[in-house]
Amino acid sequence: MEKIPVLRLGNFLLVSIQVELHDELALSLQDDLAAQITAHKAKGVLIDISALEIVDSFIGRILGHIAAMSKIMDAATVLVGMRPAVAITLVELGMPLTGISTALNIDKGMALLRSRVGDAGDPSSSA
């Protein structure tokens, strides 16, 4: 089965979705992230969706569930790289992704995570 890689950067997890996200893969990602947040005691999750041209209502709900699940597990979530067409579609579907922080790109997203949880995601801060 296809999997989306989850990379650990200090106390943060980085997910860069580079394939078309179908329902089964989205559910698998949700489960994988829950396990990785627990295993690594992650304080933040950054999800890059810049490669996605389409996000339907199911995928939008899963992204919302991932953010809610992360929050319960004491990890902040930032969604980055959302294309304008995707943002418009989600709003038109009545899914503004309330409660999910967004940023234009990975750099800005990492800065937002660091500002929310301190420098916990910076590997050099644990030295």
Look at residue 80 and give its three-state secondary structure: strand
Assign residue 115 the CATH number of its domain.
3.30.750.24
Please tell me the pTM assigned to this model: 0.89
Relative to beta strand 44-48, strand 12-16 is: parallel
Number of domains forming the structure of the chain: 1
Give the total residue count for the chain: 127
Which H/E stretch holds residue 8? strand 6-9
pLDDT surpasses 60 at 108: yes
Q: Is residue 1 part of a domain?
A: no
| Percent of residues, the chain, with pLDDT higher than 70 | 92
- Rounded mean pLDDT of 27-39? 97
Q: Is residue 88 part of a domain?
A: yes
Confidence of residue 46 (pLDDT cuts 50, 70, 90): very high
Q: How many CB atoms lie within 10 A of CB 38?
A: 11
